[in-house]
């Protein structure tokens, strides 16, 4: 049966259908990735090739030079408890509080109120040796910013007496306290010792 299409028209219609199908199949294929010179494929995705720079830790600030408290420096303290020729024994420890600050070249080395410790070097009551009483004290350490420093001092010698709890004022440089009667130094007695060797006090690190 003749549908009214000529032979030429039917051929043209067939060719159009074939080209349409071929075009659809070509568009479904994935795009090819160009090959590199060594035959491997390269990705077209951009990458950041900048290397990461590690953050190096900052070094801590350098410690300042220590303050050197020279020998012959006077260390003035007040006793925290009573000591005496009759109530103390050789080797007994005692504690004290720094009465005056110590500075070096205008800089504070040991503040007022710093804790100090010492030892009773000798204690003899009156009447045992020709009636003379003896009391010899030495400071052995001082605490600055929670750090202990060993120190060496002379023993104070008595320079006078007064009334109340601060019954005696002692000056450094002596070999001890002596007297015909027993020597009694109550708490809060002011004593002054003298350093026989320099001591280095470390300063606080700058913030």
Domain ranges for the chain: 81-199
**70's tokens:** 């020279």
Which H or E element spans position 13? helix 7-28
Note if the pTM is more than 0.75.
no
Q: Give the phi and the psi of residue 66 in degrees, each rounded to 5.
A: -70, 155
| 126-146 residue pLDDT tens | 885 566 889 999 999 999 999
Give the Cα separation of 101 and 111 in Å (integer). Answer: 5
Report the CATH architecture of 81-199: Beta Barrel (2.40)
Please count the other Cβ atoms lying within 10 Å of the Cβ belonging to residue 157.
Answer: 15
Give the Cα separation of 17 and 107 in Å (integer). Answer: 102
| 82-128 residue pLDDT tens | 999 999 999 999 999 999 999 999 999 999 999 999 999 999 998 85
Using alpha carbons only, what angle is made at residue 122 by residues 118 and 123, rounded to the nearest 5 degrees? 110
């Amino acid at each position: 049966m003749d549908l009214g299409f000529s032979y030429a028209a039917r051929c043209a219609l067939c060719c159009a259908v074939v080209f349409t199908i071929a075009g659809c199949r070509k568009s479904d294929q994935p795009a090819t990735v160009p090959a590199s010179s060594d035959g491997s494929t390269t990705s077209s995705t951009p990458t950041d090739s900048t290397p990461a720079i590690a953050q190096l830790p900052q070094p801590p600030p350098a410690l300042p030079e220590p303050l050197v408290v020279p020998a012959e420096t006077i260390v003035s303290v007040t006793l925290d408890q009573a000591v005496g020729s009759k109530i103390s024994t050789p080797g007994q420890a005692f504690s004290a509080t720094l009465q005056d600050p110590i500075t070096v070249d205008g800089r504070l080395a040991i503040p007022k109120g710093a804790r100090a410790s010492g030892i009773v070097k000798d204690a003899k009551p009156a009447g045992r040796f020709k009636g003379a009483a003896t009391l010899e004290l030495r400071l052995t350490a001082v605490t600055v910013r929670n750090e202990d420093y060993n120190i060496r001092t002379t023993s104070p010698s008595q320079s006078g007496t007064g009334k109340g709890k601060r019954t005696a004022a002692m000056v450094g440089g002596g070999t001890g306290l002596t007297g015909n009667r027993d020597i009694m130094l109550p708490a809060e007695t002011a004593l002054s010792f003298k350093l026989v060797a320099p001591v280095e006090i470390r300063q606080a690190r700058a913030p």
